[in-house]
Amino acid sequence: MVAIERPWSVVVWDDPVTPMSVVVVIFKKIFGYSNNKCTQLMLTVHHEGRAIVWSGQRERAESYCVKLQVAGLQSTIEHDQ
């Protein structure tokens, strides 16, 4: 039997000052996602106040979260329910 660990999620939070195009550029740079996917994620952040932008192992989630914070976005990690 294989034990499956619950993944960790990287969450990006909305704020009223960050330009939308900047969020898209940062997502592309950090995750290498397509322009379309980055735009969809940015719109989710904008409309819902937050978006899960990546899920997986804790170490990588933490690394991505730090990269997003270094780029100036509000980001946290959380353990999926």
Binding-site ranges for other proteins (CB under 8 A): 15-19, 21-22, 24-26, 29, 62-63, 65-67, 69-74, 76-79
Residue placing its CB nearer to other proteins in the complex, 4 or 30: 30
Spatial neighbors of 27 by CB under 8 A, at least 6 apart, are 33, 37, 38, 41, 42, 53
> Which of 45, 65 has the CB closer to other proteins?
65
Task: Give the nearest distance from C-beta 79 to other proteins in angstroms.
Answer: 7
Rounded Cα gap, residues 16 and 49, in angstroms: 10
